[in-house]
Amino acid sequence: MSPGPLVSIAYHSGFGHTDVLAEAVRAGAVDTGAAVHLIRVDEITDEQWSALDSSDAIIFGSPTYMGTASGAFHVFAEATSKRFALAVWRDKLAAGFTNSGAMSGDKLHTLQFFTVLAAQLGMHWINLGLHPGWNTSQASENDLNRLGFHLGAAAQTNVDQGAEAVHKADIATAAHLGRRVARTATVFRAGRLPTA
């Protein structure tokens, strides 16, 4: 039996909210049999760049600040140009998650930024794969995908509250994303193995 896929979570967190989501994504991927690296992009080392290069899937994460990913994540994204030039990440899987203070908060733009980055790097984007929650009179704010995003996992946390206030449904949605990426990476990895 072949080992599970290697999934890396390349993310930035300004005030701890995105740390909570990154840990949920990690837990979901681990539950599905993946080995996972958590990599804070504002502290990235050469060894962690190598881990990204050897990963089957890379999940991007950042808070949404002023309608886009954080400045620290943008610095990381620009640094991937070396991988772009050599097509190092071509055909890896990619996905993303974000958090902001408002229900919308222009989080869609952050997720779209991640998808364009992934496309430039030749990666395959994995969407959230969930119907929207909390959109009928019988629904609840505790539904998975309560904010109704499709490109990735999106969370909302009040700006006057700390990381402990990240909504449990958003944490569960992030874990779902980790599981989905790990399962898809398992399929892709199996497809690349030589047949007997």
Taking only the tens place, the pLDDT of each residue in 78-136 is 999 999 999 999 999 999 999 999 999 999 999 999 999 999 999 999 999 999 999 99
Q: Percent of the chain having pLDDT more than 70?
A: 97
Give me the phi and psi of 85, to 5 degrees please: -60, -35
pLDDT of res. 144: 97
Taking only the tens place, the pLDDT of each residue in 6-17 is 999 999 999 999
Q: Is the pLDDT of residue 1 over 60?
A: no
Mean local confidence (pLDDT), 37-57:
98
**pTM across the whole model:** 0.96
CA 16 from chain centre, in angstroms, equals: 15
Over the chain, what HEC string results?
CCCCCEEEEEECCCCCHHHHHHHHHHHHHHHCCCEEEEEEHHHCCHHHHHHHHHCCEEEEEEEEECCEECHHHHHHHHHCHHHHHHCCCCCCEEEEEEEECCCCCCHHHHHHHHHHHHHHCCCEECCCCCCCCCCCCCCCCCCCCCCCCCCCEEEECCCCCCHHHCCHHHHHHHHHHHHHHHHHHHHHHHHHCCCC
